[in-house]
């Protein structure tokens, strides 16, 4: 709403003809966000507009500050400078419970209480909507049922989370975050520890979340950190490439993923070809050990 000239400028600096996405600046924005652990500054004066109803993927080399940024977007980390704004209000000025009604977050390695059942864990996603005297409502039941159905874990309801496989467990955690029924969902490397089939399954699910529902309600906004650049390019509407605590480029993957960008961000020589399935850019690293590489 407050798409100030400044925010437009930062977005179009990366990609001139992509102003359309950036102009629909959404509920969640970061302004001159500076993040630090102890004395070490990890993210420096970062501006970010998260487009509503889209999948935003943050990529970058290890220790570039992408997870740190995501944590700050989810108020898990207090900014050293600048602010994260939800609907124009600083997160630090909104009660954490109120935030939890708008922003759901799945950390990198969540820990479940010992011996908890799947349905119990998913139901705990309803926490921000419940009261001491109202621990379970029709609404809760609908949300939990719906979340478990979407993640295809309805059949696991009575099982103990401890005894599930990695892929199942990740789906349970996502179901918990979904049951929270927030407009915004932040996922910190949701595909870590999963094999390729489960990775694709989780990301397909994430994509479907942003699709508008049959009854016309707008899809959810997802911000996720991914390690795999190809997956990021395949699933992102809005790709954010970070390096050393700054955004190097952002925009539609097909507009910004170039050999130069990969070299600049990851220091990797690569060839970019269109993906035969989706047409999204596919990053194929060069092979310096071979005599005659493609590049």
Partner 1 sequence: MSAGTQVRVRPTGYQVVRIGARGRFLLHRRSALVATSLVVLLAAVCVAYLCVGESFVAPGEVVKVVLGQPSPDELVVGTLRLPRMTVGLLVGAAFGIAGALIQTVARNPLASPDIIGISQGASALTVGAMTFGITSYTVLPYLSVLGGVAAAALVYVFAWRGGLHATRFVLIGIGFAIALRSVTTLFLTKGDYLVAQQAKIWMTGSLNGRGWAEAVPIGWTLLILLPAVLWAARAQRTVSMDDDTATALGVRLGRVRLGLVALGVVLASVATGTAGPVDFVALLAPQIARRMTRTAQIPLLCSALLGAVIVVFADLLARRLFSPTELPVGVLTAAVGAPYLIWLIIRGQGGGRGRSGGTA
Nearer to partner 1, 36 or 272 (CB): 36
Q: Select the residue interacting with partner 1 from 53, 61, 81, 157 (CB under 8 A).
A: 157
Segment lying near partner 1 (by CB under 8 A), choices 114-122, 220-228, 235-243, 248-256: 114-122
Query: What is the rounded CA–CA span in Å between residue 79 and residue 47?
Result: 13
Contacts for 158 with CB less than 8 Å, ≥ 6 apart? 117, 118, 119
Asked if 154 is part of the footprint of partner 1 (rule: CB under 8 A), the reply reads: yes
Q: Select the residue interacting with partner 1 from 107, 219, 285, 286 (CB under 8 A).
A: 107
User: What ranges in 26-136 are assigned the alpha helix state H?
Assistant: 66-73, 96-100, 118-123
Local structure of 293: helix, strand or coil? coil
Asked if 162 is part of the footprint of partner 1 (rule: CB under 8 A), the reply reads: yes
Asked if 39 is part of the footprint of partner 1 (rule: CB under 8 A), the reply reads: no
Q: Which residue has the tokens 């970019």?
A: 272
User: What ranges in 161-293 are assigned the alpha helix state H?
Assistant: 166-179, 196-210, 229-235, 253-256, 259-266
Least separation in angstroms between CB 156 and partner 1: 10
Q: Which residue has the tokens 């690569």?
A: 270
Asked if 195 is part of the footprint of partner 1 (rule: CB under 8 A), the reply reads: no
Asked if 91 is part of the footprint of partner 1 (rule: CB under 8 A), the reply reads: no
Q: Select the residue interacting with partner 1 from 2, 62, 111, 290 (CB under 8 A).
A: 111
Q: Select the residue interacting with partner 1 from 66, 75, 220, 243 (CB under 8 A).
A: 75
Q: Phi-psi region for residue 245, left (φ > 0), alpha (ψ -120 to 50) or beta?
A: left
Least separation in angstroms between CB 48 and partner 1: 19
């Amino acid at each position: 709403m407050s798409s100030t000239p400044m925010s437009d400028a930062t977005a179009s600096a990366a990609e001139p003809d992509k102003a359309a996405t950036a102009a629909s600046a959404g509920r969640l924005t970061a302004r001159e966000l500076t993040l630090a652990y102890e004395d070490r500054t990890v993210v420096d004066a970062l501006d970010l507009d998260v487009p509503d109803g889209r999948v935003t993927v943050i990529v970058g080399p290890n220790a570039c500050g992408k997870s740190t940024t995501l944590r700050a977007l989810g108020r898990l980390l207090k900014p050293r400078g600048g602010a994260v704004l939800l609907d124009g209000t600083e997160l630090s000025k909104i009660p954490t419970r109120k935030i939890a009604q708008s922003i759901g977050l799945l950390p990198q390695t969540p820990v479940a209480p010992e011996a908890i059942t799947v349905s119990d864990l998913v139901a705990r996603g309803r926490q921000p909507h419940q009261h001491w005297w109202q621990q379970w409502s029709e609404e809760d039941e609908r949300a939990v049922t719906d979340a478990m159905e979407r993640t295809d874990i309805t059949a696991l309801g009575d099982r103990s989370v401890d005894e599930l496989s990695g892929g199942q467990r990740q789906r349970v955690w996502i179901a918990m975050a979904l049951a929270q029924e927030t407009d915004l969902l932040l996922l910190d490397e949701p595909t870590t520890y999963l094999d390729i089939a489960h990775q694709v399954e989780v990301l397909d699910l994430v994509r479907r979340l942003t699709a508008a529902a049959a009854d016309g309600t707008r899809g959810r906004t997802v911000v996720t950190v991914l390690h795999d650049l190809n997956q990021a390019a395949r699933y992102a509407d809005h790709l954010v490439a970070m390096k050393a605590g700054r955004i190097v480029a952002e925009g539609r993957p097909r507009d910004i993923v170039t050999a130069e960008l990969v070299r600049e961000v990851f220091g990797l020589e690569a060839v970019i070809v269109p993906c035969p399935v989706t047409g999204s850019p596919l990053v194929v690293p060069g092979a310096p050990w071979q005599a005659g590489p493609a590049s």
